[in-house]
Chain A
Amino acid sequence: MNPILLAEVVPFLGLVISFIYGAAAFFKKGIAMYLQLIVCALGSLALGHFFRIICILTSGALPAGFHVGYLGDFSCFMFLFSANYGQMDGIVDDGSEKLRSLRRFSLVAPVVLVILLSTLFLADMRVIKRWILIFSVLPALPAAYYNLKHMLIPDMDFGFIRAIRPFNGAALAFIFINIVYQILYAFGLYGFSVAASALLAACSFIVIRNAKKGVEQWKI
């Protein structure tokens, strides 16, 4: 199989399986919207990969510039950011002074992502494509910040933060693997991007499994 196609099919399958599993587990009455947003994030990314697969099957390659698959990527990170900031941050962070150093330390995640993304300027690609790619993953920066913060923040009250720590770790890994996968693809290292795509597929399932376990643990 064409490695470019394989690098799209593998994450697509992983994301679809995770989406179906998450939709069956979390789209019910009484389940927190936070979890539904995570599932929607995986669904959006799956849509982006689906379109890329269709493009490769119909015309042999992805469009040279912008294509609508980037909307799926952007939507995925928007959902992750929305879930972390809109739903969770108000609960886990009381805004107190003693957590200030932790908030500053959490900036490490977006800074590392910026460093990774800056390697795109070394890739042999059109300027417009480079900026489209960077823009499509922009919401990943605040999403990563909040995932790291919620992973490190001390658990003071209900045990909820401790319960979802593995999920936050998996979500952070998911974001990083996705960015690395995009960078490898941009550099034309399709063999490595296939490996990264396999990791992405596995990570997407781990994200959902950890979210489910976290919710179950907290209920206990």
Chain B
Amino acid sequence: MILFVCIPLPLLLTLFLLEKRSRITVLYLIIGTFIAVFAASVNGFLHDWLMMSEREFTITVSPIVEEVLKSFPILFHAVVVSDKKENLLMISIALGIGFGIFENAYLMVSNVYGLTIVWAFIRAFGTALMHGICTCFVGLGISYINRRRKFFYTGIFAILTLSIIYHATYNSLVQSSLEFFGFFMPIVTYSVVLLTIYRDKIKSVTEKQKNLRFPNKNLFLK
């Protein structure tokens, strides 16, 4: 509760001063923190009910709970507000990172004497980034399938499957002797996503420049 007051509430106050695009980004960052709290409650309940080991729970159940809960605000935004790829990408990564930030803060407060800078880097560039990437998959996927209604339900299930398996793979790797691969997995995926987005942007900019230089190129082709 104290953590919840310290982090999202001051951010809420900034919403009144921000411009539209920044406001939406910060809003979804805050929503991410809300979802982190809710997911923690659901995970706690399920963990007690299913009586699984910690490792098995983090590989099997918690990825499903967290990815499904994180997808709801994005789906809402896509259906009600806008399904533009740029908007969904922005809000989905904000939501995922907000989730990761709150989760890190909670773990930090729960384990104050065991903290190191290495732990901080791993949580920042590993877990928090992984949450952002999983939600990013959902956002990008929804932007693609929202306009293809026949594909919608199967597509949503497939997107969630992708993010759940990614999340479960990360959890599985970091709790094993292959933790090195687990820690670098989100950074590598993030780099690929970034390159893809910027490649598309560079392509569209060079296309525009070409059209400006040769506005009547079709005349030459005739």
- Mark A residues whose CB is within 8 Å of B: 33, 37, 40, 44, 47-48, 50-51, 54-55, 57-59, 63, 65-69, 71-72, 74-75, 78-79, 82, 86-87
Contact = CB atoms under 8 A, between A and B. Distances in A.
B221 interface: no
A79 B154 CA distance: 6
Nearest to A55: B172
Contact of A58 (B151, B164, B175): B175
B154 A59 contact: no
Given A71-B164, A78-B154, 11 more contacts: A33-B148, A51-B169, A59-B176, A67-B60, A68-B59, A68-B60, A71-B161, A72-B161, A75-B154, A78-B158, A87-B150
A26 B37 CA distance: 41
Contact of B165 (A37, A47, A63, A82): A47
Contacts of B169: 50-51, 54
Contacts of A82: 150-151, 154
A51 B178 contact: no
B162 interface: yes
Given A33-B148, A66-B60, A68-B64, A54 B173 contact: yes
Nearest to B55: A59
B172 A54 contact: yes
B150 A33 contact: yes
B157 interface: yes
Contact of A75 (B56, B151, B157, B172): B157
B151 A33 contact: yes
A44 B157 CA distance: 10
A-B pairs, top 6 by smallest CB distance, nearest first, are A58-B176, A82-B154, A71-B161, A68-B168, A75-B161, A75-B158
18 contacts: A33-B148, A50-B165, A54-B173, A58-B176, A58-B178, A59-B172, A59-B176, A63-B56, A63-B59, A65-B60, A67-B60, A74-B161, A75-B157, A75-B161, A79-B158, A82-B150, A82-B151, A87-B150
B63 interface: yes
Interface residues of B, number: 26
B172 A58 contact: yes
Contacts of B178: 57-58
Given A67-B60, A71-B164, A44 B158 contact: yes
B63 A68 contact: yes
Given A44-B158, A68-B60, A58 B173 contact: yes
A54 B185 CA distance: 13
B163 to A, nearest CB: 10
Contacts of B160: 71
Contacts of B151: 33, 37, 82, 86
Contact of B59 (A33, A37, A67, A75): A67
B176 A51 contact: no
A54 B64 CA distance: 17
Contacts of B168: 51, 67-68
A78 B59 contact: no
A11 B168 CA distance: 20
**Interface centre among B60, B154, B168, by most A CB within 10 Å?**
B154
Interface string B139-173: 00000000010110011011011101100110011
